[in-house]
Amino acid sequence: MDKLIPFLQQNIWLVLLTAFSGIMLLLPALRGKISGVGSAGTTEAVQLINHQNALVLDVREPNEFAAGHIANAKHIPLAQLSGNLKTLDKYKDKAIVVNCRSGARSSMACGVLRKHGFTQVYNLKGGIQAWEQAGLPTVK
């Protein structure tokens, strides 16, 4: 303990950098917990789709969607989501799995849905890329 204080004093920038790095690593997980948006890996997403009849909402651009998407997915590009929320009203209290290419756009879409009262919103971890890497089917 006698050597810890001098070490911390001599290496304050290293300690601060380590603390900042840790916070930055934890921030995405905490943001999801705070906002009420869940995340689902491919296994959880399949279970939500099969057992809870979850809606799959694909928020990619039309050309990305046409290249391959999850079967029965509803397609609303992220830029058009706010203007199309009425078409999703019947899903306000039902599970919705939102996907994009990698998970970034779908995370934003999940935030929009939660803000407008959708209660069971899940971001597909890794997006369609993770879905395809897991060997799960897509349709064109």
Note if 110 is an active site residue: no
Strand partners, 95: 120
Q: Which helix (H) or strand (E) holds 31?
A: helix 12-35
CB-CB contact of 131 with 102 (8 Å)? no
CB-CB contact of 121 with 37 (8 Å)? yes
33 pLDDT higher than 60: no
Domain 36-133: which CATH number of 3.30.70.270, 3.40.250.10, 3.60.20.10, 3.30.70.890: 3.40.250.10
- The per-residue pLDDT for range 51-108, each reduced to its tens digit, is 999 999 999 999 999 999 999 999 999 999 999 999 999 999 999 999 999 988 999 9
Q: Is the pTM of the predicted complex or chain greater than 0.85?
A: no
CB-CB contact of 35 with 116 (8 Å)? no
pLDDT bin (cut points 50, 70, 90) of residue 119 is: very high
Instruction: Report domain extents, the chain.
Output: 1-35, 36-133
31 pLDDT higher than 80: no
Type of residue at 122: Y
pLDDT of residue 79: 96
Output the six-digit token pair for 15: 């300690």
pLDDT of residue 9: 83
Q: Which of 100, 113, 128, 130 is catalytic?
A: 100
Mean pLDDT of 23-42: 70
49 pLDDT higher than 60: yes
